[in-house]
Chain A
């Protein structure tokens, strides 16, 4: 298993500002992901955070809006840039242990952002 810590747990932000969310894992993992959960919705994958290289973004998500860093195998950050009320969501960091086709997914507690 993996224990994942996210900061901040929640925040209220003003329109046009940016916020960086941190994700710390208690062990080294290759596969780390960022998800978004809009109010009342299921989870949508934003990107795969790649250690030492640029993140791989899913359709509809771009690096300018959601820059991601992954300096090592235990830490990642997601920045939500130039926020608007539509960005109000829970942002979740997750890791997949094991291999690409056998691994189990674990999540942090999430960061609940409210944009005014």
Chain B
């Protein structure tokens, strides 16, 4: 059964820092990998989608990479801002079931 772990569970950094969030899968047989942002009490906003044939995606200050061989993905946030404070979730589209399995999330707080 696919399990997705995100490290760290929580992170507090001063404004301006570059940071890396990690996501790992117990079963590396996944198609897509998607990163989301969730503000407290809200739904999820899609940040980046890495398709099966891709290794990374970039949007603004965000860069996500996927290494299927190791079952790991990272989300890099450059020059963090207080507005980046949120919970970040990764989700992998698993082969076989064709369903997205969600990670445990990383709660990020960027201090002004």
* A interface residue numbers (CB < 8 A to B): 1, 4, 6, 42-45, 48, 90, 92, 94, 96, 100-110, 112
Query: In the complex, A110→B95 CA distance in Å?
Result: 27
Number of A-B contacts defined by CB within 8 Å: 55
B46 contact from A45, A102, A105, Cβ within 8 A: A105
Query: In the complex, A102→B95 CA distance in Å?
Result: 11
Are B93 and A108 interface neighbours, CB within 8 A? no
**In residues 17-42 of chain B, which contact A (Cβ within 8 Å)?**
31-32, 34, 36, 41-42
Are B34 and A42 interface neighbours, CB within 8 A? no
Q: Is the interface of B mostly helix, strand, loop or mixed?
A: strand
* B92-105 vs A, Cβ < 8 Å mask (1 yes, 0 no): 01010011101111
Are A102 and B100 interface neighbours, CB within 8 A? no
From known contacts A101-B52, A101-B95, A104-B49, infer whether A42 and B43 are also in contact, taking CB-CB under 8 Å: no
- Say whether B44 faces chain A, with CB atoms less than 8 Å apart: yes
Are A104 and B31 interface neighbours, CB within 8 A? no
Are B44 and A92 interface neighbours, CB within 8 A? yes
B41 to chain A, nearest CB (A): 6
A112 to chain B, nearest CB (A): 6
Count of interface residues, chain B, beta-carbon cutoff 8 Å:
24
Are B32 and A42 interface neighbours, CB within 8 A? no
- Say whether B75 faces chain A, with CB atoms less than 8 Å apart: no
Query: In the complex, A92→B98 CA distance in Å?
Result: 19
Query: In the complex, A98→B100 CA distance in Å?
Result: 14
Contacts of B77 in A (CB 8 A): none
A57 to chain B, nearest CB (A): 12
Are A42 and B103 interface neighbours, CB within 8 A? yes
From known contacts A42-B89, A42-B102, A45-B99, infer whether A104 and B43 are also in contact, taking CB-CB under 8 Å: no
Contacts of B51 in A (CB 8 A): 102
- Say whether B108 faces chain A, with CB atoms less than 8 Å apart: no
- Say whether B64 faces chain A, with CB atoms less than 8 Å apart: no
Are B32 and A104 interface neighbours, CB within 8 A? yes
Residue in B closest to A111 when the chains form the complex, CB atoms: B43
